[in-house]
């Protein structure tokens, strides 16, 4: 009996690691918040990499988006995080790098494939060190149901006035909910609402940089006006939008019950697989015909190297591959709506994705205003904007109050450099 | 040596063997409980006295508490969560426990048919995972897919339906009632057991004296189950001020809309672990946890030292 027991102990403790070592495979784990992309990684991206590097096995381990930051931070601090960390843009990943949790990647082979703008989201404030390989950006706009637009007899709106006229007409038609969005999860209101239409008001980068420099305040008219527009959306959202969650909104649109969906381009792939009608997209409408248009083209995903990883060499091999044009093309086509940041132009098959990208030609691009520098403190500006945007749409807060509250929160910790 | 030998032979009482088995049997529970409950509790209390100063964890005394109650934003968040939590508790006390007592009183009536079925059916939600309960109720109350609007339409009450979970004025009440629905089985079971413990002679004596029906409940049964009601109140208090799970599954970690369902548990979670772009702040989280601990301690002490001593107990 004891001999059997000893044998078992021996087998499980001594032999098992030896057996694993004999296989001579390096295991890499990628931490990510993109649980929607799990099949894409498992079926397309990882097999393509493993075909080239049979000695490295990669596991994609995603979790719920809202949990990701706290969970990955806890894992990094406890030393149990994966070898590769998917990087949120700007301040969040910067904090990880400053704590020494992410390794610098300046000398990584393939980094030369990215422009400074692409790298800006994962570079230190002094522009010296880059710590994540840029993977993709997302563009905001509106996705619409082409069949619904035809049925109601409306054209794609270019100006704000036309936009509300379209909404009004769809509402009169009665067959469709004009716009699918809810305020229960709060982030939709800010991300698909405020950050989506806002750049046209604060003139993209100009306003964002002025906010960081302190020459503009969130109480200025260009920052309050988008709230006022959002408040007008209220009448065109579905019944009970206050209790409508993000998946509810997605389903309302893909089931063909809503005509317009305020979107981020990351919706393209799931919408394509679920909706059986034709979809089109239009950028946020401008104030008056011929105005310069601004779009939110937000650096969204990068991949960095866990500074404590035991498999740094293998991880770097993987990151170099992520930096290659081959990955860029594979990723952009497997996950349409995530646009490659690689300098090499990528050919995309998906029409809706092409539509989104085509706006870059005429419109100025900017990133979300709460992402960089002003998003570092407590209270967190991004979360504040979630709350105020939702409140404004719910009608429990006026646009002016929203501006004041967010500015007050920002003032409590942020002092612009003079 | 020889001296002790003599003494032993003289007294002649056999030396009591050391009863090792007591320690052995207690050890697993003691070790596990210490490792997963007592140590983390002490560590949390300790962490609330520390904060990160210049990248290093340093002892700061009560500065965290001063910040929690002095910083206008943190204090506003805390008092908002505290008052929501108090309302959450009061709704449980006002709805869950009376309903639980009423159900138990009805179930204990002799001659009630299929009592066993009702008893199990009412207790089942308590056994369900809060994730399931939260998800089911979110679906039932959904203005888009839910059955609540249709059911209310059938009885002509459609106009009273609203997106209750999404409105700041109704969200907290709705979530509290969901929690009441889930946990009403616990007071019911405890009171039911207490009612069954009342000896038949007492009730028969009451009947002979002409006390029956309602007045029997008020005058005989209720005084006899008061200690159980006290225990239930304490359990409700502790459970409610520690609550987190149901709010988190139904309303998310933000306790929306506009913080109207934010209770101490969700505030602690957000502060300690961080949420979305807000970074976690373990020392401040530990501070909130300590305050929660003190609130619960105060409540329980109030019960133990003030209320429990005044409850009259009857021995049968």
Average pLDDT for residues A35-55, to the nearest whole number? 90
pLDDT of residue A18: 45
Closest CA to A227 of A374, A394, A373: A394
> pTM to 2 decimals?
0.84
Whether residue B246 lies inside any domain: the answer is: yes
Structural domain including B128 reads 63-310
Average pLDDT for residues A222-240, to the nearest whole number? 94
pLDDT bin (cut points 50, 70, 90) of residue A22 is very low
Give the CATH superfamily of A21-135+300-344: Periplasmic binding protein-like II (3.40.190.10)
Cβ-in-10-Å burial (0-12, 13-18, 19+) of A207 comes to buried
Identify the three-state secondary structure at position A193.
helix
- In B, minimum Cα distance to A378 occurs at B278
CA dihedral over B82, B84, B87, B92, signed as positive or negative: negative
Number of domains present in the structure of chain B:
1
Closest CA to B170 of B141, B146, B132: B141
Q: What is the mean pLDDT of chain A?
A: 89
pLDDT of residue A4: 58
Flag whether pLDDT at A43 surpasses 50: yes
Identify the three-state secondary structure at position A128.
coil
B159 has a chain A CB within 8 A of its CB? no
User: How far is B129 from chain A, CA to nearest CA, in Å?
Assistant: 19
pLDDT of residue B13: 67
Average pLDDT for residues B238-244, to the nearest whole number? 94
Higher pLDDT, B57 or A199: A199
**Token pair in block for residue A78:** 């406890």
* CA–CA separation, B269 and B291 (whole Å): 14
Higher pLDDT, B145 or B178: B178
**Token pair in block for residue B69:** 């109650």
User: How far is B293 from chain A, CA to nearest CA, in Å?
Assistant: 23
- In B, minimum Cα distance to A89 occurs at B277
Domain spans in chain A, listed from the N-terminal domain onward: 21-135+300-344, 139-297+364-411
pLDDT tens by residue, B15-60 = 788 888 999 999 999 999 999 999 999 999 999 999 888 778 889 9
pLDDT of residue A119: 87
Flag whether pLDDT at B186 surpasses 90: yes
pLDDT more than 90, % of chain B: 58
Assign residue B300 the CATH number of its domain.
1.10.3720.10
pLDDT of residue A118: 83
pLDDT bin (cut points 50, 70, 90) of residue A348 is confident
pLDDT of residue B10: 52
* CA–CA separation, B277 and A66 (whole Å): 9
pLDDT tens by residue, B83-100 = 999 999 999 999 999 999
B276 with A95: Cβ contact below 8 A: no
Whether residue B219 lies inside any domain: the answer is: yes
- How distant, in Å, are the alpha carbons of A123, A135, A336 from that of A343? 17, 11, 17
pLDDT bin (cut points 50, 70, 90) of residue A342 is confident
Q: What is the mean pLDDT of chain B?
A: 89
Phi, psi of A328 (to 5 degrees): -55, -45
pLDDT tens by residue, B107-149 = 988 788 888 899 999 999 999 999 999 999 999 999 888 899 8
B280 with A70: Cβ contact below 8 A: yes
Let me know if the fold of A21-135+300-344 is the same as that of A139-297+364-411. yes
Average pLDDT for residues A156-182, to the nearest whole number? 94
> Is A139-297+364-411 assigned to CATH 3.40.190.10?
yes
pLDDT of residue B279: 77
B166 with A242: Cβ contact below 8 A: yes
Whether residue B1 lies inside any domain: the answer is: no
pLDDT of residue A20: 47
Query: Count H helices, E strands: chain A?
Result: 21, 10
pLDDT of residue B158: 83
pLDDT of residue A405: 92
pLDDT of residue A24: 66
* CA–CA separation, B279 and A360 (whole Å): 33
Query: Count H helices, E strands: chain B?
Result: 18, 4
Q: How far is CA B27 from the centre of its chain?
A: 28
Closest CA to B189 of B124, B104, B97, B117: B104
B150 has a chain A CB within 8 A of its CB? no
Mutate to test the interface with A, among B143, B144, B269, B282 (most CBs of A within 10 A): B144
Facing residue for A184 by CB, picked from B162, B165, B278? B165
Report ipTM for this prediction: 0.80
A186 with B280: Cβ contact below 8 A: no
Flag whether pLDDT at A21 surpasses 50: no
Q: How many residues does chain A have?
A: 418
Identify the three-state secondary structure at position A260.
strand
pLDDT of residue B136: 93
Flag whether pLDDT at B74 surpasses 60: yes
Flag whether pLDDT at A35 surpasses 60: yes
**Count of CB contacts below 8 A, A vs B?**
115
Average pLDDT for residues B189-218, to the nearest whole number? 90
Instruction: For residue B29, count other CB atoms closer than 10 A to its CB.
Output: 9
B166 with A238: Cβ contact below 8 A: no
A91 has a chain B CB within 8 A of its CB? yes
Average pLDDT for residues B287-307, to the nearest whole number? 93
């Amino acid at each position: 009996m004891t001999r059997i027991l000893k044998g078992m102990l021996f087998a499980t403790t001594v032999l098992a690691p030896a057996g694993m070592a004999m296989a001579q495979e390096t295991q890499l784990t990628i931490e990510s918040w993109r649980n929607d992309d799990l099949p894409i990684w498992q079926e397309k991206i990882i097999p393509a990499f493993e075909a080239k590097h049979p000695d490295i096995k990669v596991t994609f381990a995603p979790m719920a988006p809202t949990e990701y930051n706290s969970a990955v931070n806890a894992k990094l601090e406890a030393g149990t995080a994966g070898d590769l960390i998917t990087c949120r843009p700007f301040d969040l990943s910067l904090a990880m790098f400053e704590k020494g949790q992410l390794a610098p990647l300046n000398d990584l082979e393939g980094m030369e494939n990215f422009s400074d703008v692409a790298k800006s989201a994962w570079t230190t404030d002094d522009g010296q060190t880059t710590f994540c390989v840029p993977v993709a950006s997302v563009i905001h706009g509106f996705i619409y149901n082409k069949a619904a637009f035809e049925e109601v007899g409306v054209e794609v709106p270019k100006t704000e006035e036309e936009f509300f006229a379209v909404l009004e007409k769809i509402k009169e038609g009665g067959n469709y909910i004009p716009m699918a969005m809810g305020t229960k999860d709060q982030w939709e209101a800010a991300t698909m609402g405020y950050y989506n239409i806002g750049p046209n008001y604060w003139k993209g980068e100009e306003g964002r940089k002025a906010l960081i420099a302190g020459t503009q305040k969130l109480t200025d008219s260009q920052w309050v006006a988008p709230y006022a527009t959002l408040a007008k959306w209220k009448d065109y959202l579905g019944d009970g939008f206050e209790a409508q969650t993000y998946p509810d909104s997605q389903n309302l649109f893909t089931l063909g019950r809503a005509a317009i969906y305020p979107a981020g381009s990351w919706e393209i792939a799931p919408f394509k697989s679920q909706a059986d009608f034709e979809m089109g997209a239009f950028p946020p409408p401008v104030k008056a015909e011929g105005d310069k248009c601004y779009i939110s083209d937000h650096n969204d995903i990068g991949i960095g190297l866990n500074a404590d990883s035991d498999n740094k060499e293998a991880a770097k091999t993987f990151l170099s591959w992520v930096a290659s044009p081959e990955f860029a093309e594979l990723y952009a086509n497997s996950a349409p709506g995530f646009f490659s940041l690689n300098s090499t132009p990528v050919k995309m098959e998906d029409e809706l994705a092409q539509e989104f990208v085509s706006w870059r030609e005429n419109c100025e691009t900017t990133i979300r205003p709460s992402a960089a520098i002003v998003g570092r403190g407590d209270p967190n500006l991004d979360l504040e904007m979630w709350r105020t945007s939702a409140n404004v749409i719910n009608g429990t807060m006026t646009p002016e109050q929203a501006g004041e509250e967010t500015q007050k929160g920002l003032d409590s910790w942020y002092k612009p450099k003079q | 040596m020889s001296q002790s030998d003599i003494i032993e032979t003289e007294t002649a009482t056999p030396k009591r063997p050391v009863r090792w088995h007591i320690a052995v049997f207690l050890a697993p529970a003691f070790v596990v409980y210490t490792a997963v409950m007592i140590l983390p509790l002490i560590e949390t209390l300790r962490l609330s006295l520390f904060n990160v100063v210049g990248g290093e964890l340093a002892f700061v005394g009560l500065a965290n508490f001063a910040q929690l109650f002095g910083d206008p934003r943190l204090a506003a968040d805390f008092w908002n969560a505290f008052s929501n939590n108090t309302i959450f508790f009061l709704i449980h006390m006002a709805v869950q426990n009376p309903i639980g007592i009423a159900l138990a009183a009805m179930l204990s009536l002799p001659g009630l048919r299929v009592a066993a079925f009702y008893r199990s059916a009412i207790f089942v939600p308590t056994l369900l995972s809060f994730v399931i309960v939260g998800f089911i109720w979110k679906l039932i109350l959904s203005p888009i897919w839910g059955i609540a609007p249709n059911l209310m339409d059938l009885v002509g009450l459609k106009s009273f339906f609203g997106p209750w979970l999404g409105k700041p004025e109704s969200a907290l009440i709705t979530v509290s009632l969901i929690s009441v629905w889930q946990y009403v089985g616990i007071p019911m079971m405890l009171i039911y057991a207490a009612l069954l413990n009342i000896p038949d002679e007492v009730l028969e004596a009451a009947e002979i004296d002409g006390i029956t029906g309602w007045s029997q409940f008020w005058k005989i049964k209720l005084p006899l189950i008061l200690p159980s009601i006290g225990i239930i109140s304490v359990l409700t208090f502790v459970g409610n001020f520690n609550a987190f799970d149901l709010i988190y599954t139904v309303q998310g970690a933000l306790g929306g809309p506009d913080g109207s369902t934010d209770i101490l548990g969700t505030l602690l979670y957000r502060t300690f672990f961080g949420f979305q772009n807000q970074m976690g702040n373990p020392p401040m989280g530990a501070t909130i946890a300590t305050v929660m601990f003190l609130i619960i301690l105060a409540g329980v002490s109030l019960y133990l030292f003030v209320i429990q001593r005044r409850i009259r107990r009857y021995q049968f």
